[in-house]
Structure 1
């Protein structure tokens, strides 16, 4: 469940972080786009209170992270990433031998 706008600015707990990441992941499963992050809604973006900006950004980023992880797994980019990583490691080993 997303934090209500009136508590944005409060410190985020680890439970909230996980909930927001799961919400982002579910949003991707449901077909929402990254720009549909609920923390981008105008009423959720802090204005005039710079102390709340860091907490808002953490919540925004937690949702976005969950969305991006799910997106990467659906697009097969995680496998591609690791294949490229392994290939690079093999090249380095062959240069050393």
Structure 2
């Protein structure tokens, strides 16, 4: 994925939040887009999913004035992943 695609996916996630969509509305959660039998494309799918979600979460944090909470959540998530 190029940097331009990454930015576009983040913008799509941000626009989705502005329109009132929820994280579960991430288009990469659509079964047609999920790599079920090809582990080779899993990393690309995950990057795209995460880029969209990052855009959504960033917009959500800015709208709720929850920037400190947002970064605390990210830190907790990173700590959880580090333990696994």
TM-score of the two chains, using structure 2 as the length reference: 0.80
Match of 1:23 in 2: 12
User: Is it true that 1:72 corresponds to 2:74 in the alignment?
Assistant: no
Alignment partner, residue 45 of structure 1: 34
Report the CA distance between 1:47 and its aligned residue.
1.3
The root-mean-square deviation of aligned C-alpha atoms, in Å, is: 1.1
Larger gyration radius, structure 1 or structure 2: 1
Q: TM-score, normalised by structure 1?
A: 0.69
Distance 2:58 2:11 in 1: 10
Q: Secondary structure at the match of 2:17?
A: helix
Superposed displacement of residue 48, structure 1: 0.9
SS of the counterpart of 1:60? helix
Asked whether 1:13 is paired with 2:2, we answer yes
Structure 2: give runs of 5+ residues left out of the alignment.
70-84
The count of residues paired between Structure 1 and Structure 2 equals: 69
Regions of 4+ moved over 6 Å: none
Report deviation, 1:27. 0.2
Structure 1: 5+ residue runs without aligned partners? 1-11, 83-97
